[in-house]
Chains A and B, each alone.
Chain A
Amino acid sequence: MTALQRLFKFNGGVKPAYNKEASTGLPIAVAPTPTLLVIPLHQSIGGPPRPLVKAGERVLKGQRIGDADGNVSSAVHASTSGTVVAVEMRLMPHTSGLSAMCVVIEPDGRNEWIPRQPFDFRSASPAASRDFLRDAGVVGLGGAVFPSHLKLNAGKQGKLDVLVLNGAECEPFITCDDVLMRERPEEIIKGAVIMREMLSAGEVLIGIEDNKPAAIAAMEIAARAANRVAGANVYKVGSVPTRYPAGGAKQLIRVLTGIEVPHGERSTDYGVQCFNVGTAYAIHEAIELGQPLISRIVTVAGNVGQARNYEVLFGTPMKDLVALCAPLPDSDRLIMGGPMMGFRMPGDDVPVVKATNCVLVGSTALFPPPPPEMPCIRCGECAKACPADLQPFEMYWFSRAKIFGKAQEYNLFDCIECGCCAYVCPSRIPLVDYYRFAKSEIWAREVEKEAADVARDRYEFRLLREEREKQEKAAKLAAKTAAGREKAAAALAEAAKPAATPEEDAKKALIAAALERARTEKARVHPENTADLTPEQQAEVTAIEARRAEIREMAKPHLRPDD
């Protein structure tokens, strides 16, 4: 028995045309290595990794080229062996059309791996295992690219009731998880075994939408085998009713366990954690094969002659990938992700990254521009469709009026931007665009406010410090004057005394010697990087010194006297 009996429901949701068959006909193919790989350093939630390589360096396949910046970050690796051509700003696969730091690698075609060492996570501490996964660059492959090592933490109780594997894949057109589950179910379960042990989880529930019978069958066989090994019925496959967005993490957790995890809270505190099946596969590869995350399954679908799933190296330009599928001549855009939540790419030469689950080729015929927007008639269709039980028209109203506080009161940040509201809206209002706009405005204000608070603190501290310094100076001055007076009195008394004693002479000699020593020491110590200079550098230094001296002269009247 691996099938899950009891299921729950989430409110709302829609049933768009699924269009999944086109890309499941053929097995996963390996996309050829392109002539140039452009690997963005920042591919996950969290801090942007620091580059570890320079132009001209040779790298091996799987070599770390970007180091995690702190714990909330994830490493990046070379997808194949070759030479680093440049570390520079390149166009990112992001709607903004902005660039970010990328490592550009020219593959040498040898596919030479770094030495691959499986990681013995059973004898390692949980923290060490998490560090290993961070350095292996494992992030959530469902699209959110949240670093997985941060989620593999059992939370307050130290153990979990349920580990949810997300194979629901509810977005139209996308089938990368479907084919992965069909073709590599054992590896996914192996990853699940690792995660279950790391989280001390009880059950493992694998949620798959019931429009993927082949994947359900394959996963059930693998789950049965794992149950035999475990000696208990812990791996269960749940056939989830097909309704978008059943694959939303919170929605799937609700359907499989009945638990609702509120926005902004950790699901581990509710005894449950959710991972994409592709992430489970990546964890298996990292821990048991020692292979960092350098490729993923990507669906190429939409306006193409032959839609298919490919295993693609990160950094492969999307146009190279799309070219394999015979795009139709009227194609006019690339979308990363599905038609409900995907993002339009600023060009076709942007690279495939960890977040790329699908490259959807669009055309005006396939995705016609929406009819003109009409006013909201408050019909409530959006509220009926919202899987987060929000009141989308109220959020729209306040976002549009830029009354962001009110929009937040209507729980704007609980919105998962699934697009159901815009999908059903009879007035064809681009509702999600309004929420994205409001959210990014609120975030920007938050950042500004934090900066202002820091500035206020620093300014107040400075005022405090200046006040203190003033007082100290005043105290010192007072002491000095007092000391001066005493000295004067003493000098008067001295003058009355006979000439210096021999002891005093000896003391003076000692002081002179010490001064001399200090002077020679100072002369001996040079700044080290100016020791062996080439003639050109020496000339440059002299020129700069001359300029500085000149400037110093010029600046003199401005300088305050030292006090």
Chain B
Amino acid sequence: MNNSPYFLQPASVQSVMLRVLLALLPGIAVYAWFFGGAVLVQIVLASITALAAEAAMLKARGKPLMMFLGDGSALVTAWLIALTFPPIAPWWLTVIGVLAAIVIAKHLYGGLGQNPFNPAMVAFALMIVAYPSLMSQWSAAGFTDFAPQWNAIFGTRQLDALTMATPLDALRTALHTPEARATVAGVLGNDASFGNIGGKGWEWVAAGYFIGGLYLLQQRIITWHMPAAFLATLFVITGGFALYDPGRFAGPGFHLFTGGAMLGAFFIVTDPVSGCTTPRGKLIFAAGIALLTWIIRTFGAYPDGIAFAVLLMNIAAPLIDMYTQPPVFGHKGKKGGSA
């Protein structure tokens, strides 16, 4: 028989994960509205793969199947992969990505709660290194015709009409090709009204994620520290550099609303398992990701830097945690925790 406390709050890992999935829904809806149903296909594909892989791994490791399969953590990973991969990526790309996340990044490191790296970001990093071109073919906004998208995923790929470089990609290519004399305004246009800042359609998706993020905050599933530190750091860096040279550096409006910034701020950076847990640690962790993200976006060779930034900071998380232990009751002012 158990010992005290005999009362437990009705909370479970499952309910946490389900609420995270719920919070993703607004973003997904907007995504599908602007970019077509392909993303929904990817979500279903990723979910089925994730559950199958999870079940196989649980069985192999001799864990109780139903208890862990029902916890929803595999689904969260699967959805994040589907949302960070190009919606018209071929089916096997998503499947391999999900398998890498669940089998390698999660279970080979000890399963739920033990993985040092964010599984979805491991999948993204792995796939973008292995298949850079496939991971850079994004469907064009407004092109919502389902049949060619379906074909792109499962059949013959005739992509010309379908794809378009993401704004981030376009910007990087334009600014970093030596002979190019492009400017930020030249690539992105001067239209600063909402709907055009982060690239057509993208900031509406970001707004959807933002609403979901607010829901997570309201549900106290995440704390304000990580999203605030991430967005504020990104804002300050990009703002500073945009002031310094607006022709070469895109401003905060673009950076906050494009790519995976908003999804990252609320759903990826905030992964509790692989991130920091102390309040100060969370601020440092998220700020570090923002800084690395901007560096990789601006100077790197890959279209978005969040995945690498997250993985780099994941490694540093235990160290940051160790040095940012909050002072214990009665020890305030003195050095608390371990050093």
- CB-based contact B4/A414 at 8 Å: no
30 pairs, A vs B, C-beta closer than 8 Å:
A172-B7, A262-B330, A263-B328, A339-B7, A340-B6, A342-B6, A343-B3, A344-B1, A370-B2, A370-B8, A371-B12, A372-B67, A374-B12, A374-B112, A377-B16, A377-B272, A383-B277, A389-B328, A391-B278, A393-B277, A394-B321, A411-B336, A414-B331, A425-B11, A426-B15, A427-B13, A427-B113, A428-B12, A433-B3, A436-B3
In Å, the complex CA distance between A370 and B337 comes to: 31
Is A339 a contact of B5 with CB atoms below 8 Å? yes
B330 close to A261 (CB less than 8 A): yes
A379 is contacted by which of B7, B67, B272 (Cβ under 8 Å)? B272
The reply to whether the CB of B71 lies closer than 8 angstroms to some CB of chain A is yes
Q: Is the CB of A377 within 8 A of B337?
A: no
Which residues of the partner chain B approach A11 to less than 8 Å between Cβ atoms? 329
Chain B residues within 8 Å of A367, by CB: 6-7
Interface: A335 (CB within 8 A): yes
Q: Is the CB of B336 within 8 A of A422?
A: no
Pick the residue among A261, A388, A406, A423 that contacts B5 (CB under 8 A).
A423
What 1/0 flags go to A1-45 for Cβ under 8 Å of B? 000000000110010110000000000000000000000000000
Nearest-CB distance from A297 to chain B (Å)?
A: 21
Docked-complex contact A16 and B273, CB < 8 angstroms: no
A505 contacts which chain B residues (CB < 8 A)?
none
The answer to whether A388 and B328 touch across the interface, beta carbons within 8 angstroms, is: yes
Interface of B, helix, strand, loop or mixed by DSSP: loop
- Contact (Cβ within 8 A) B330 A333: no
Residues of B that sit less than 8 Å from A by CB: 1-9, 11-13, 15-16, 64, 67-68, 71, 73, 111-114, 221, 223, 272-273, 275, 277-278, 321, 325-332, 336-338
The answer to whether A375 touches B112 (Cβ under 8 A) is yes
Q: Quick one: closest B residue to A253, CB to CB? A: B330
Interface centre among A95, A339, A406 (most CB of B within 10 A): A339
Give chain A's interface secondary structure class: loop
Residues B337 and A409 in contact, CB atoms below 8 Å apart: yes
A410 at the interface (CB under 8 A from B): yes
B64: chain A residues at CB < 8 Å are 372
Residues of B close to A340: CB separation below 8 A: 4-7
Name the one of A10, A341, A378, A422 contacting B113, with C-beta atoms under 8 angstroms.
A378
Interface size class of A (residues with CB under 8 A): 35 or more
Residues of B with C-beta under 8 A to A390 = 328-329
Q: Is the CB of B277 within 8 A of A426?
A: no
The 4 closest A-B pairs by CB, nearest first: A262-B330, A419-B5, A375-B113, A367-B6
The answer to whether B11 and A426 touch across the interface, beta carbons within 8 angstroms, is yes
Interface-central residue, A17, A343, A410, A426, by most chain B CB under 10 Å: A426
A362 within 8 Å of B (CB atoms)? yes
A260 at the interface (CB under 8 A from B): yes
- B317 nearest CB neighbor, chain A only: A378
B9 near A411 with CB under 8 A, answer no
Tell me the A residues contacting B by CB distance below 8 Å.
10-11, 14, 16-17, 95, 172, 250, 254, 260-263, 265, 333, 335, 337-344, 362, 367, 369-372, 374-381, 383, 387-391, 393-394, 406, 409-411, 414, 419, 422-428, 430, 432-433, 436
> Is A263's CB under 8 angstroms from B330's CB?
yes
Roughly how many angstroms separate A340 CA and B12 CA in the complex, as a whole number? 19
Collect the chain B residues with CB atoms within 8 Å of residue A419's CB.
Answer: 4-5
B114 touches A260 (CB 8 A): no
Closest-CB distance, A96 to chain B (whole angstroms): 12
Q: Please report the C-alpha to C-alpha distance between residue A430 and residue B5 in the assembled complex, in whole angstroms.
A: 8
Known: A14-B9, A381-B11. A369 touches B2 (CB 8 A): yes
How many angstroms from the CA of A341 to the CA of B6 in the assembled complex? Answer: 8
Instruction: From A261, A375, A378, A424, give the contact of B111 (CB < 8 A).
Output: A375
Please give 6 more A-B residue pairs, beta carbons under 8 A apart, in addition to A16-B7, A378-B272, A414-B328: A340-B4, A343-B4, A378-B275, A381-B11, A406-B338, A427-B12
Q: Which of B4, B11, B113 has the most CB of A within 10 A?
A: B4
Q: Chain A residues with Cβ under 8 A from B338's Cβ?
A: 406, 409-410
Partner of B1, one of A333, A374, A411: A333
B221 to chain A: closest residue by CB: A379
A430 and B2 within 8 A (CB): yes
Indicate which residue in A17, A344, A433 contacts B7 across the interface (CB closer than 8 Å). Answer: A17
Report chain B residues within 8 Å CB of A262.
329-331
